[in-house]
Copies of this chain bind each other. A is one copy, B any other.
Amino acid sequence: MELSFTPEQILKLVGASAIEGNQKPQTIRDIASLDKAQPGDLSFLGNRKYRSQMPDSKASIILIPEDYEGRPLEEQAFIRVENPSHALGLVCEEIVRVLWPKPEPGVHPSAYIADSANVCSTAYIGPHVIIEDGAKIGRQAMIEGQAYVGRHAVIGEASHLMPRATVLDYCELGSRVRLHSGVVIGSEGFGYETIQGVHHKLPQIGKVVIEDDVEIGSNTAIDRARFSETRIGAGTKIDNLVQIAHNVTTGKHCILVAQAGIAGSTTLDDYVVLGGQVGVAGHIHIGKGSMVGAQSGLNGDIEAGSFVRGTPVLPFQLAHRIDILKQRLPDLFKRVEHLEEVVGKKPNE
């Protein structure tokens, strides 16, 4: 990447006023983690875990938290900020503007736009895109190459479909929704009625509604409702390869980490966090702000504020204790055997 920031530019971007240490550090040409940084790099202390890497870091400028007490090396400068990770983000946002300039509005000639589709003149429609009958593309929306918008689907203002993202018939996206490549919104729910040994499809006539400010990762699939709607609450962030079945409702500001799966008709309240590869059964309810540890299997309701882990889930501390005790099972079996010998009783087999 061809970056170049003067120390003064960095100061301004992060909203700080003072440089500590070397007042004339090198021009910044790249960003790197503390351990990999070279002169000319900007780095940051975002996680306590990496504090030990500070004294050896060769970064020219390091963003540090307010309570950090170490001193910069001779050629090095520190910039003290409230939240170094957020501050780095501010610098990166500037870089995003340079590396990913917004394309001009307009429709690429290779795109297919159905006659009855309604595309705002301020939207961008890339090559080989398909916009089907009756679809609506809102102001400043970006529909990148090979994306697909089905019949009567609605894409809200400033929403962004990355290459090959797919929104199927009748589904609705709010404003500022971001769909990564390979996302499928609105495939049919997995519902069958088995009659005399044959699985008959239950028609899936509902839709998917994605509220404002949702982001959805690559190759994630969200099924349309059997009827009514599958709904993703505003501000919820969904990682790659996640499965969300028909009629699921997530609250606002949930976090669903990669490869998690939620079965049909389950409801998540606001601020629920599912770790990676978590599986959630159908028709259950997860209370507000609950956190479910990675790879857990959840098959019953949990109350607001729960912090659980395991398959089936247990309160986090108990799950942790049981994990440790499980490792001591070989010893426990020996101890019981020993007791049986002492007591003079064989196991009652």
Contacts and interface: CB of A to CB of B under 8 A. Distances in A.
A304 interface: no
B295 A297 contact: yes
Nearest to A247: B33
Nearest to A180: B187
B294 A297 contact: yes
A170 interface: yes
B217 A187 contact: yes
A71 interface: no
A203 interface: yes
Contacts of A245: 258
Contacts of A215: 201
Given A127-B112, A314-B327, A86 B193 contact: yes
Copies, count: 3
Interface in A218-267: 218-219, 221, 223, 226-228, 235, 237, 239-241, 243, 245, 247, 253, 255, 257-259, 261, 263, 265
A312 interface: yes
Chain A binding surface, main DSSP class: loop
A202 B89 contact: yes
A326 B332 CA distance: 11
Interface string A156-200: 000000111010111000000000111010011010110101111
Interface stretch (A60-68, A116-124, A339-347): A339-347
Given A166-B181, A283-B49, A329-B326, A345 B340 contact: no
Nearest to A294: B279
A197 B184 CA distance: 28
A335 B322 contact: no
A339 B332 contact: no
Contact of A184 (B88, B181, B345): B181
A20 interface: no
A253 B198 contact: yes
Interface residues of A, number: 120
Contacts of A47: 283
Interface of A: 1, 30-33, 36, 47, 49, 83, 85-86, 88-89, 92-93, 95-96, 99-100, 108, 110, 112, 126-128, 130, 132, 145-146, 148, 150, 162-164, 166, 168-170, 180-182, 184, 187-188, 190, 192-193, 195, 197-205, 215, 217-219, 221, 223, 226-228, 235, 237, 239-241, 243, 245, 247, 253, 255, 257-259, 261, 263, 265, 271, 276-277, 279, 281, 283, 294-295, 297, 299, 311-312, 314, 318, 321-323, 325-336, 338-340, 342-343, 345, 347-349
Given A30-B228, A110-B110, A339-B340, 9 more contacts: A33-B228, A83-B193, A92-B226, A110-B112, A190-B239, A190-B257, A279-B294, A322-B330, A335-B347
